[in-house]
Amino acid sequence: MAINPGDLLVVRYDTTLVAASYLVSAMGSFFALECALRLRRKDGSLDWTMLAGAAIMLGGIGIWSMHFIGMQAYLLDVPISYDGWLTVVSLAAAVAIAGLALYLSGGTGKFNPRGWLVGSFIAALGVCLMHYIGMFAQIVRATMTLDWLVVAASFGIALAAALAALWLAFNVRTRALRVCAALVMGLAVCAMHYTGMSAATLICTESTPALPTWTFHSYNLAEWTFGIAMLWVFLMSIVLVIRIEAPPTVPTHRR
Give the whole-number percent of the chain exceeding pLDDT 90: 45
pLDDT of amino acid 12? 92
197 or 209, which is more confident: 197
Mean pLDDT value across residues 115-120: 91
Q: Residues 144-193: pLDDT tens digits?
A: 999 999 999 999 999 998 998 889 888 887 888 889 889 988 999 999 99
Please report which confidence band the pLDDT of residue 107 belongs to, taking 50, 70 and 90 as the band edges. Answer: confident
Q: Residues 18-72: pLDDT tens digits?
A: 999 999 999 999 999 888 888 888 787 888 889 999 999 999 999 999 999 999 9
DSSP secondary structure string, the chain? ----TTPBPPPEE-HHHHHHHHHHHHHHHHHHHHHHTTSB-TTS-B-HHHHHHHHIIIIIIIIIIHHHHHHHTEE-SS-EEEEHHHHHHHHHHHHHHHHHHHHHHHTTSEE-HHHHHHHHHHHHHHHHHHHHHHHHTEEESEEEEE-HHHHHHHHHHHHHHHHHHHHHHHH--SHHHHHHHHHHHHHHHHHHHHHHHHTEEEEE-SSPPPP-SSEEESTTHHHHHHHHHHHHHHHHHHHHHHHTTS---PPEEP-
